[in-house]
Amino acid sequence: MRKDAVAGGTNTADVEEAVFAMPAGMAIRYDRPAAALADFITGYHVYRSSAAPGGEGQVDWFLPATANVRIAIDAGPIAVSIGRRTYDPLPAASLFGPTSQALKATTHGGVMIGFGISALGWARLMRRPAGDFRNRIVPLEDVLGRGFTNRLVAALQAATDDAAVAPILDALLLERLGPPHADAPAIRGLMEVLATDGPADMASAAARLDMPSHALRRLSIRHFGFPPKMLLMRARFLRSLLRLMAAGDAADYSMIDDSYFDASHFLRDSGTFLGMTPRRFMALTKPFLEASLRARNAVLGSPTQALHDIATAPAKTDSMGAVRATTSSRAISTGDAAGISC
């Protein structure tokens, strides 16, 4: 697929075109996966940018997230930093493990195609524990095999345009999906806890799930990549940060989650998850993050992967015409995301 074949947009009919507006030389696309994949794949995304004049790379920042697969096509060199670790050059087909730190990407034009993997999806697609890959990037073939990776890359390279990406990924991922995991009910339960407001402590989560703390910790590291306390802290921080970002100049610390003791408590979490203060992060130039928060919320029901709620996320119509019912219980509302401008 050539860069000029990426126009941006979505496979979802009820989303306004303005949601995908980007600066000149850039385009963004978000698509819903097939209904049969909606619990396992948190969405498909396509980014396109032109090389910056003079050979200088474009820098973008992204929030901590669940695991992702990303494939670069017709692209210049890419360098990605997670905390103090930098991957330069980035493998053309990569697995980004679950992250607890902001990600900095320096690109030189091209197309990036990706999809997010939920904890339920990890249990169906991967054999190794998610904890082995937290805050790491590895070649995709190391986890999904060379044969599947080559088929995936070849199919995407041959795509006529970005509208063909979702059907290609649907077909290949449905074929690859393993049998249901024995831990699936508990995984789903923890995903629901993370998607809703509540205490950010392990004991409360274990009580809600009626699980011993040691069992919850083992399950969390195996399928989510981090201990439950870290996941709860990440979710609480991101919900608070997004409220500040949506408010822009009117933001103040009264908007942060009620479970924070005070502003300094929130700022310590910001150091953990962003490596800087919220104000400094909000001031950074990050066109793809700004656009993805807006577009992802409109298409998939939540602005970030780490806050993805499979109970309320809209799904594509499947072959029988069934569509997942949606509710209005999201922690971050559509109105919030519409105002996000960073």
d(CA 83, CA 224): 19
Looking at every residue in the chain, the average pLDDT score rounds to: 89
Asked if the model's pLDDT at residue 338 lies above 60, the reply is: no
pLDDT-derived band at 202, boundaries 50, 70, 90:
confident
Q: What is the pLDDT of residues 8-19, one digit of tens each?
A: 999 998 899 999
State how far Cα 331 lies from the chain centre. Answer: 16
d(CA 198, CA 236): 8
Q: Are 66 and 118 in contact (CB under 8 A)?
A: yes
Asked if the model's pLDDT at residue 89 lies above 50, the reply is: yes
Polymer length in residues for the chain: 342
Predicted TM-score (pTM) of this structure:
0.90
Q: What is the pLDDT of residues 232-264, one digit of tens each?
A: 999 999 999 999 998 877 778 888 888 888 899
What's the confidence (pLDDT) of residue 38? 95
Give, to the nearest 10 degrees, the angle between helix 213-223 and helix 228-247.
60
d(CA 305, CA 302): 7
Q: What is the pLDDT of residues 265-282, one digit of tens each?
A: 999 999 999 999 999 999
What's the confidence (pLDDT) of residue 332? 34
Cα of first residue to Cα of last residue in the chain, in angstroms, is: 31
d(CA 76, CA 72): 9
pLDDT-derived band at 326, boundaries 50, 70, 90:
very low
Cα angle, residue 97 at apex, residues 257 and 284 outer, rounded to 5°? 55
Asked if the model's pLDDT at residue 33 lies above 80, the reply is: yes
